[in-house]
Structures are given as structure tokens and as C-alpha cells.
Amino acid sequence: MDMIQSPAAPSRTKEDRHFVTALARGLDVLACFRSGDRMLGNQEIARRCRLPKSTVSRLTYTLTRLGYLHYVDETGKYRLGTATLGLGSVMLSRLDVRQVARPLMQELATFSKAMVSLGTRDKLSMIYVENCRSEAALTLALDVGSRIPLATTAMGRAYLAVVPDIERVDLLERIREADPKAWPRVRKGIEQSLAQYRETGCCTSFGDWQEDVNAIAAAFRPGGGLPPMAINCGGPAFNLSEEFLLREVRPHLLDLIRRVEYLLGAGG
């Protein structure tokens, strides 16, 4: 059975009269800064946002006036301003799920000698909101705020497995539009992951995102008006075999998810 269907309808944002395009473009400019970026110029921002450079120049000027960007004279580029720090810190401080999950995630990180992360979706990426490492682990250079692909990672696939069908169909269409050439391979991996989730409660990515990275993930709904979230356990393939992740880590990960769901429910 074909588990993935593509919608025929156009993007809703193109039809929505309440959608403010200028605001969306300004937020896109802020979102194009990634965890490894110190500064970006208008040309790079325009490329990432797929906008004319003249439009980006007006947006960056406005965002700088408001404190969301800071212009660095020496380089002629921008870095994120302190106003964005205020927004991010308020959001993270109100995520009670981080406080609930952190000690349990650290237990799993210590057991697996790997990195365990909590994340949720932002556009076609998963963004880390909590991260735990084993002291003995050789782990990935990722931290809170890092982004990983939705379509090819264990965390992203676990997210896709638990969202409502209508949201999944919309996301899959956006993934296809973003890279039509890669879509047949990506689609096959997602289909296998959806079937895998129904059978085992977890999704995997063994070299699908990066050739030398293995990971396993499961998702849950934290409630309180928050979107679904996922927890992954991953690291270098030479340190984390497929067999170890599936046989040893998977039961602990599923138990972690159950405990987090229980504690959030009990707290509510």
C-alpha cells in the first residue's frame, strides 16, 4: 500500500488573505541564521531565503533598527541581535518538558555512551531544545539550537510518524518540492520509517543523513498546546552499531518516552 500521498492543492499561504508576506519574509531572514553562523551578508541571506537582494537589504535594515540584527561595520555583515536572545530564552524557559526530560535523557546518554537530544520541528528541520552527552562519549558537534533535516534523520522521521495525516501530507509535499531529484530516495526512506515506527515504536537513520552517523528516535505529544516532540540517541557509526541501537538502546528509549509522558501528565 502506498503510505505517502501528494496533495494536489497549492500552498495554503498563497491563498490565505490573512497571511502577511512581509512579516513572513522578515522571520525567514532571522531563521536563516544557523547554529554555526557568526555573521551573514545580504547576499548569503538572499540566497538562503530565495529573495531578491534589494528586498533583503530593506528587511535587514528594518530588523537592525528593531534590535533583531546587529550590523558589523568591519565585515559589512550581520549577526543576530539581542532581541532574538530575549525571545529564545523566554521560549526555552517555558518548556517544562525540558526539565522533566533532562535527567532521564542523561541516564540514557550515560548508558549508551552517546548523545541524546530533544527536538521539535521548525519548517523542514528539527531543532534541538535540549541535549545530553555521556562524559565518555565521542559525540556529534551539535547542541541546543542546532538544526537537522526532517526527512533523513531518525528524529525527523519519528516526528512525521506521529503528526496527523493532513500535516504529514503537507510536509511531504514541501520536502518533495525542496529537492525533486532526491525525492524518490527520500520517499523510500520515510515510507520504511513509518512502517518501522508502527512495528517497533522507533525510527532509525543508519547513514541516511550522514554516512558515518547512526541514530534511533521516538516521538511523543507533550500536551499543553505544544507540538509533537522527539528524542533521539545517536553518534558516530563506528561507536554505535545498528544492532546495539535496536537491541540495547531501543527499550531504554521507549521507557524514557513513557516516563516523560507520565510525568507531564501527572504534572498537569
**191 within 8 A of 138, measured Cβ to Cβ:** no
Q: Is residue 6's pLDDT more than 70?
A: no
Q: Domain 95-267 is in which class?
A: alpha beta
User: Domain-by-domain residue ranges, the chain?
Assistant: 12-87, 95-267
The model carries a pTM of: 0.75
pLDDT digits (tens, 9 = 90+) for 131-175: 999 876 566 677 888 889 999 999 999 999 999 999 999 999 999
Nearest one of 173, 175, 180, 182 to 9, comparing CA atoms: 173
Half-sphere exposure of 144 (CA within 13 A, CB side): 10
Q: CA–CA separation, 102 vs 134, rounded Å? A: 13
Mean pLDDT of the 88-105 span: 75
pLDDT digits (tens, 9 = 90+) for 20-78: 888 989 888 988 887 667 899 999 999 999 999 999 999 999 999 998 899 998 899 99
Half-sphere exposure of 36 (CA within 13 A, CB side): 4
Q: State whether the Cα torsion 189-194-200-204 is positive or negative.
A: positive
Q: Which three cell numbers stand for residue 97?
A: 518538558
Query: pLDDT grade, residue 10 (50/70/90)?
Result: very low
Q: What is the pLDDT of residue 224?
A: 77
Helix-strand-coil split of the chain, %, nearest 5: 50, 20, 35
Is 12-87 a CATH 1.10.10.10 domain? yes
Q: What size, in residues, is the chain?
A: 268
Nearest one of 122, 168, 126 to 30, comparing CA atoms: 122
Q: What is the pLDDT of residue 266?
A: 53
pLDDT digits (tens, 9 = 90+) for 220-239: 998 877 889 999 999 999 98
Q: What is the pLDDT of residue 142?
A: 78
Q: Is residue 267's pLDDT more than 70?
A: no
Mean pLDDT of the 250-257 span: 97
98 phi/psi in degrees, rounded to 5: -65, -45
Q: CA–CA separation, 143 vs 216, rounded Å? A: 17
Q: What is the pLDDT of residue 257?
A: 96
